[in-house]
Structure 1
Amino acid sequence: MEDNSYNKNKPIGIFDSGVGGISVLKKAIKILPNEDYIYFGDSKNAPYGVKTVEEIKKLTFKAIDLLLSKGCKAIVVACNTATSAAIEDLRKKFKDLPIIGIEPAVRPAVNLNRKGKILIMATPITLAENKFNNLVERCAVSSEVVALPCAGLVEMIEEGVVEGSDIKNYLVRKFEGKIDKDISCIVLGCTHYPFIKKEIVSVIGDEIPIIDGSEGTARELKRRLEQSDLLSNSDEKGDIQIFNSKDNSNLIDLSYKLLELK
């Protein structure tokens, strides 16, 4: 078997179109606290949800090249839109590299076994991609899924707006006529959205479960590292570095703030 001792202590690269993937980084740190992490947010080009698939692929490959130049042993594409558009091409190109994507938590939503429709909040492009439709067909055969495209929401969160009247008014308009006793749960199909969970609850109440894909992604990361014998052998808390394509220290500050957000 290949000796991976040198590679084990290399960092894990986590990439998102902005600050949203910090929600995945948080879960990864919880599950794998001794790993080093390099996070790259491409806020300069956010949101990806309004771009063409070709543009998203190009930006995603560029981001992965950057993380690989920093010596990452595995990559997490912590962006639903980039996963939908580029993950298959990435895996073809980097055959020996563990690459973990994220997708809306449709299966966990179905497994809740609650009566009613599953409401999925996501960017318009995630909902339009075949990958999403295939996921729904595969996992939610006997469930009714209602897609709720949330154009403009990523931009607000990128500005650091995670609570207050602007977000609340947006959500009130978005949920109007959608929330009733027929909703079994809400799936947050974009990594930015967990940061506004508190405001979602303030609008819809705490009766309806709200779930996202970050936990499953972090667990899959651990599984893939174990499988490749790449788990860090350090017994100390790992190091975290955060980079952003937008030359703006406010975004780095926002990223660390979101990382600490309870």
Structure 2
Amino acid sequence: MSQRSDPIGVFDSGVGGLSTLRVLAQQLPNEDFVFFGDSANAPYGNKSQVEVQRLSERVVQQLQAVHVKTIVIACNTATSAAKPQLMAAHPELDLLGIEPALKAAVDAGHKRILVLGTALTLSLPKLKAQVARFQGQATIYPQACPGLAELIEHQADAEQVQALLHQLLQPYANQTIDAVVLGCTHYPFVADEIQAELAQLPTVYTGDAGVAANLQRHLQRRQLLNVTPHVQQIQLMSSRKTPAELALYRQLLGLEG
């Protein structure tokens, strides 16, 4: 049985989920975390749905082995492609997933919203249903970003990232875009560069605040919220089991460098 003092598991296809973990750790300072980055198979966005399901199942099993009380899928692609199957296969599993913050952008009154995501995330019914739900309230432009998560995952130089963003966002450069929804947890690492490609420096939305609030409510409801102050522990794991990879995780998380 899960205990309040057990850690929370967080996983992503690679380094992207560290942007979400950073927010979760800040919002829930009494919680400990175990992060698993499947960097050996990153990114998930260019894979088939069946492959994402298989990889997500394998990561979940590794997190269960270290006795986490809840698992947060810090990957929009895995949330859309694999969460229903994971819940069906593991009815005992306490599982939450991140989602693009399209509702938050619409609720804030934005009228021309660019949604950036992987091709797989944008093609699946979950995001399509969100877009259809809000189309009457705002003009929404879904834009796939092939190759962007790969560049971020492999820490490509700034010139490569800028060149790809310029190519992807050129159709919107002179349009009035007042909000950008980042539908991939890799993308917050280049949020400033994304803004710079657009004329009005639009407001940027991620799903991090939403999933953090959802996680806190969920733990309170399940009586699993750790209220005991202590020095927060964050364990980092990766399918690419090298000291350099884990050092990169620590750096991106702000634990060093």
- Length-normalised TM-score, structure 2: 0.94
**Within-5 A mapping of 1:127-138:** 127-138=122-133
1:46 matched residue in structure 2: 42
Residue from 191, 209, 214 that aligns with 1:220: 214
For residues 202 and 178 of structure 1, the distance between their equivalents in structure 2, rounded to whole angstroms, comes to 12
1:105 matched residue in structure 2: 101
Residue 181 (structure 1) shift:
4.3
2:30 matched residue in structure 1: 34
Any idea what SS the aligned residue of 1:120 has?
Answer: strand
Any idea what SS the aligned residue of 1:176 has?
Answer: helix
Residue from 150, 167, 172 that aligns with 1:155: 150
Residue from 221, 235, 243 that aligns with 1:241: 235
Count of residues paired in the alignment: 256
Segments of 5+ residues of structure 1 without an aligned counterpart are none
1:190 matched residue in structure 2: 184
For residues 36 and 136 of structure 2, the distance between their equivalents in structure 1, rounded to whole angstroms, comes to 36
Runs of 4+ in 1 over 6 A off after TM superposition: none
Q: 1:26 to 1:205 in 2, by over 3 A?
A: farther
- Structure 2 contact 13–44 (Cα < 8 Å) conserved: yes
- Opposite residue 73 of structure 1, the aligned amino acid is K
Work out the percentage of aligned pairs sharing the same amino acid.
37
Q: CA RMSD, aligned part only?
A: 1.8
Residue from 168, 173, 177 that aligns with 1:179: 173
- Structure 2 contact 73–79 (Cα < 8 Å) conserved: yes
Any idea what SS the aligned residue of 1:132 has?
Answer: helix
Structure 1 position 203 matched with structure 2 position 200: no
Segments of 5+ residues of structure 2 without an aligned counterpart are none
2:16 matched residue in structure 1: 20
- Structure 1 contact 160–254 (Cα < 8 Å) conserved: no
Residue 140 (structure 1) shift:
4.2
Structure 1 position 252 matched with structure 2 position 246: yes
More off after superposition, 201-210 vs 175-184: 201-210
Any idea what SS the aligned residue of 1:48 has?
Answer: coil
For residues 66 and 139 of structure 1, the distance between their equivalents in structure 2, rounded to whole angstroms, comes to 37
Residue from 54, 67, 73 that aligns with 1:71: 67
Residue 249 (structure 1) shift:
2.1
Residue 205 (structure 1) shift:
5.7
Residue 141 (structure 1) shift:
3.5
Any idea what SS the aligned residue of 2:45 has?
Answer: helix
For residues 34 and 142 of structure 1, the distance between their equivalents in structure 2, rounded to whole angstroms, comes to 39
Residue 48 (structure 1) shift:
0.8
Which string of whole-angstrom CA distances, capped at 9 and with x for unpartnered residues, describes residues 44-93 of structure 1?
Answer: 11111111111110110110110011000000000011001111122223
For residues 30 and 140 of structure 1, the distance between their equivalents in structure 2, rounded to whole angstroms, comes to 33
- Structure 2 contact 175–199 (Cα < 8 Å) conserved: no
- Opposite residue 155 of structure 1, the aligned amino acid is E
1:169 matched residue in structure 2: 163
Structure 1 position 59 matched with structure 2 position 55: yes
For residues 199 and 245 of structure 2, the distance between their equivalents in structure 1, rounded to whole angstroms, comes to 30
Residue 94 (structure 1) shift:
2.8
- Structure 1 contact 77–101 (Cα < 8 Å) conserved: yes
